[in-house]
Structure 1
């Protein structure tokens, strides 16, 4: 991904763009004077022709030199003579540019949902350049969030974080609900990087700020509660995940964005699965799938197939699980969603192993680990090494199994994924015990029990405050 771009034009008579960047404010006398002079020359008008009958050529010359700030009346007269809108002459901002950029933002979002992230990235970069050029902070922040979401899809987590942080900074003076999408994006990037506790910290801090300050924005709260479910589940904080799901479901009647509602249904399904409510989880996934199909959001639709595959695998229907996971994998590969592809490959490899295809599973896992180098996707890399350890152990290669389990444990301890850590410690302990290494086995079991015995909470301690309004009691 490229860095943040800025469109600038140098030269006094640069054509076509009134917002020339000379280092001063677009509405400064110097900037207005340069625009006035360029527009006058473009129209082959003399200073006298522009000024008459109300003003003098000397006054126009003074304005073009940037020596005085023109009055509103003078600007309106000159704008009419030039055949341009007053706002364009006064600010360098073409009429309706903000509305035009918002339309282009919507189109870029559609491209990201339905087509290629690279094409969406290029569109967002162009929008960002124009938003910066014309001094439009809201549109600039929206373009930065869009670029962050492109980077999430392609697995460029450092770039995603930089974009979301820049968006938050751009909106620093706005109410917290306006920053919720950027906060959510930043937390997702930390989550995908394996920084579960910090992801939860960001979300809980924002939720508490909303609920204790009177900014009870349903859309912002739904985004934040929904985003908190996955890191809660991976940390073993199942009670908090269930509470977040409960609050998210209750917010749905107040939210009209179908994509946000669909994401909530897809995410809540995970808590329902953990509670053993398989039918309810399937209904939630069916609702999410229906909405994503209507909206043609391919990445999220792939996530629904992925979740369905997980449900089938949990209940022993391995053939259907493989079918669903391969569908998800194909859709994500076509979208070039690299990190999500790796996540699905871990699930698919587990199903292949359980179906008696260990060689195919191992090949898939070794391949995906190459793409997860440089600190990307610690959770998924840990899962891959766990499965490779199981495959090696089943093949009788104790040394390789031990190495993979040790690597998995090291990766997962960086993330705080309590349940996964406990599972690796159990596997490690069982392997040591089978080799007669009793003391090492006991140490592994103790480590796992320590993680299981932990509260599975985040760094904040108490759970976020509940919104102080209906429908909760």
Structure 2
């Protein structure tokens, strides 16, 4: 007797191993909706359905009855060679039942799943996998694995706004890489995160020193690591108010980096360039518009929820600066109806924008209270750079709103 949900898991495993879509396996004799319900365990298979599926998969019906579990090593091979939501789900399921198996295989599975969740902006799920990865790395004891796990953990903490623990994790990863003479790739990866978190924590001398070390380390390269290093050094210049120097670094990365090597990094560089133009005094709206349009043109080839949302957020801020508050509100409302996959700083800037719109719309006290709360929250998270930016924007917005009031009164 074929029972659910084991039948559904086995069916999906057999289909995915062959690289077949649900539509292909369903064929003319079954709807894809019914096949999907079988795979999820929501429907019990009939003899006719089993016979049809066995024929489509080229197996005997008896293979559905086999209870042998696919090994973690098999699923890892599948996930590495064929990235998809389905293979990631299979890997997650295999990992859950992998206790007692080879720790190195479990480490690789956790690493892949963490990366997968990061690319999709699922910060909560990524954090859960990285928590396990850090613990497992300590148990294994290899410096390379400990440093890599802590680097990704620090990156995840930074994205969620937990700056103090992010600094600690990144600093530990860096020391492990340096003390154990790890590869240039490993050392540079730790520095990428360390520079960012030190800057956000207000530790600018340390951030500058490590940024110089990072750029010297990747000199002569033109790969993804090189582009990310210039991007990180440029972001530091933005925080220091050196916008021309930052733009030069970003442009150098865009000019020297082949987008075919990593389109996602190229797109994020465009987003960073647009962010820079909006933070200038005054903002360079035409340059920001060009960067946004260039990124949107390439988005269909590297579409992720996080990138789409980042560009919508930029569009909202651009509309605000162009004096189109209604359009800015509409874009914020659109984002508010989605499951946000944005980094902490971007989410906070969206809330800042919402409060700026409230102030300009006549809700001065409510908007100022909201900005004050956001600034205090950033300070509590040791995000000194962001807190200072919020206080500055609050003052600018208040002056603009009161200037408009005085203009109306004078008229």
- Which range, TM-score by smaller chain? 0.5 to 0.7
CA distance in 2, matches of 1:416, 1:134: 40
CA distance in 1, matches of 2:339, 2:223: 33
Per-residue CA deviation, residues 26-85 of structure 1 (Å, 9 max, x unaligned), is: xxxxxxxxxxxxxxxxxxxxxxxxxxxxxxxxxxxxxxxxxxxxxxxxxxxxxxxxxxxx
1:292–1:199 distance in 2 versus 1, CA, 3 Å: farther
Q: Which residue number in structure 1 is paired with residue 118 of structure 2?
A: 152
- Whose relative contact order is higher, 1 or 2, with alpha carbons under 8 Å and at least 6 apart? 1
Q: Which residue number in structure 2 is paired with residue 312 of structure 1?
A: 277
Q: Which residue number in structure 1 is paired with residue 145 of structure 2?
A: 178
Q: Which residue number in structure 2 is paired with residue 107 of structure 1?
A: 81
- How does 1:39-54 map onto structure 2 within 5 Å? none
- How far did residue 289 of structure 1 move? 6.4
1:419–1:271 distance in 2 versus 1, CA, 3 Å: closer
Q: 216, 220, 223: which is aligned to 1:258?
A: 223
1:187 aligns with 2:161: no
1:239 aligns with 2:242: no
- How far did residue 344 of structure 1 move? 4.2
1:343–1:190 distance in 2 versus 1, CA, 3 Å: farther
1:415 aligns with 2:378: no
Aligned residues of 1:127 and 1:143 also touching (Cα < 8 A):
no
Q: 193, 198, 204: which is aligned to 2:171?
A: 204
Aligned residues of 1:389 and 1:404 also touching (Cα < 8 A):
yes
- How far did residue 417 of structure 1 move? 1.8
Aligned residues of 1:145 and 1:185 also touching (Cα < 8 A):
no
Aligned residues of 2:200 and 2:384 also touching (Cα < 8 A):
yes
1:134–1:235 distance in 2 versus 1, CA, 3 Å: closer
User: SS in structure 2 opposite 1:294?
Assistant: coil
User: SS in structure 2 opposite 1:293?
Assistant: coil
Per-residue CA deviation, residues 156-185 of structure 1 (Å, 9 max, x unaligned), is: 222111212222333332422223332222
- How far did residue 93 of structure 1 move? 11
More helix per residue: 2
Q: Which residue number in structure 2 is paired with residue 294 of structure 1?
A: 260
Q: Which residue number in structure 2 is paired with residue 385 of structure 1?
A: 351
User: SS in structure 2 opposite 1:155?
Assistant: coil
User: SS in structure 2 opposite 1:236?
Assistant: coil
Aligned residues of 2:121 and 2:305 also touching (Cα < 8 A):
yes
Aligned residues of 2:146 and 2:173 also touching (Cα < 8 A):
no
* Structure 1 unaligned residues grouped into runs of 5+: 1-5, 11-91, 112-116, 437-473
User: SS in structure 1 opposite 2:176?
Assistant: helix
Further displaced range: 268-277 or 223-232 = 268-277
User: SS in structure 1 opposite 2:260?
Assistant: helix
- Given the two structures, how large is their TM-score scaled by the length of structure 2? 0.66
CA distance in 2, matches of 1:405, 1:412: 11
- How far did residue 205 of structure 1 move? 1.7
Aligned residues of 1:382 and 1:409 also touching (Cα < 8 A):
no
Q: Which residue number in structure 1 is paired with residue 232 of structure 2?
A: 267
Q: Which residue number in structure 2 is paired with residue 337 of structure 1?
A: 304
- How far did residue 257 of structure 1 move? 9.8
1:142–1:286 distance in 2 versus 1, CA, 3 Å: farther
Aligned residues of 2:267 and 2:295 also touching (Cα < 8 A):
yes
Q: Which residue number in structure 1 is paired with residue 320 of structure 2?
A: 353
- The count of corresponding residues between Structure 1 and Structure 2 is 333
Q: 396, 402, 424: which is aligned to 2:368?
A: 402
User: SS in structure 1 opposite 2:218?
Assistant: helix
- Given the two structures, how large is their TM-score scaled by the length of structure 1? 0.59
Larger Rg belongs to: 1
Aligned residues of 1:177 and 1:215 also touching (Cα < 8 A):
no
- How far did residue 367 of structure 1 move? 3.3
Q: Which residue number in structure 2 is paired with residue 362 of structure 1?
A: 329
